[in-house]
Amino acid sequence: MTFKHQLWTRLVCIAILCFTSLNSQASDKVTLSIKPIACIVASIGQPCKLNVTAHWQAPQPMDLCIYQQDKLVHCWTNKQQGQKRFAISIVQSTDFKLLNSKKETVATVSVAINAAKPVSYRRRLRADWSVF
């Protein structure tokens, strides 16, 4: 085996090791996704009602519960992944959290509220005289 071949073999091995290591780090984390991730209302302040689907995945079986802000939505016991569809009504951007059995937050996703018509302001054209 020439020196050139040895060098290429070593580089390929290093690359495989690095990829495996990165992949291992990523899979150590619990991943949570919520769909849809945003809600559109006509104007800020109006409530948004929609059905969302939460999906999570963990590297090993875990006891996890999902919360809407501080309100419990659903729990899973000794699962490596889970999915739950539920209805929500929100008036502002809201966090959804996965908590483990020690009440530690292991993943968070926010569902945003966006207004189709953003808040706008106008100068007041007051009556000619007013205490206001």
CB of 49 to other proteins, least distance (A): 21
Nearer to other proteins, 53 or 92 (CB): 92
Which helix (H) or strand (E) is 10 found in, with range?
helix 3-27
Residue 31-50 contact track with other proteins, rule CB under 8 A, x = bound: ------------x-------
Nearer to other proteins, 3 or 132 (CB): 132
Rounded Cα distance, 36 and 87, in Å: 12
- What's the start-to-end Cα distance of the chain, in Å? 91
Rounded Cα distance, 45 and 116, in Å: 12
Q: Which of residues 109-128 bind other proteins (CB under 8 A)?
A: 119-128
Q: Which positions lie near other proteins, rule CB under 8 A? A: 43, 119-132
